[in-house]
Amino acid sequence: MRVVIQRVTHAAVTIDGEPIGRIGPGLVVLVGVASGDTLEDINYLAQKTVDLRILDDAEGKLNLSVKDKNQELLLISQFTLLASTRKGRRPGFTDAAPPQEAESMFNLFVDRIKATGLKIATGKFQTNMQVEIHNDGPVTIIIDSRERLLSRD
């Protein structure tokens, strides 16, 4: 499972010109579900997302999390995060989970974030969306849940 986390002043998602989700200051989280992902991957990334200290404290240092500041999250499923560009010019998506599995895993991720009590908004799974992101900083962090298994050496 892979997430791209962007700190934002505000963000919104629309489908066919109709707004379906909007947040104020907080994080936009783009979520890619890989084949073979488990509940451990979901729990790891959900916890990491809400506890990641990428928000400014009173001194302007990245010391606070979205949970510390009670900010909002916009969660968007995005299978293209699992693109492979090793061969040719067209990305391959064989590492991405099949749509039905990915939707179930994405919904579990959303539930884990909701359980923190933070305000969230989401896009709509397997739909062409327009996501408006007002990146703050900019601060963008990429986390792959499988990296937690690698040695720190």
| Catalytic annotation, residues | 78-80
Which H or E run includes 114?
helix 99-114
Q: Are 150 and 10 in contact (CB under 8 A)?
A: no
Q: Tell me the C-alpha distance between 32 and 76, whole Å.
A: 9
Unique residue bearing structure tokens 């989280």: 29
Residue 49 DSSP SS3:
helix
From the number of C-beta atoms within 10 Å of its C-beta (0-12, 13-18, 19+), residue 107 rates as middle
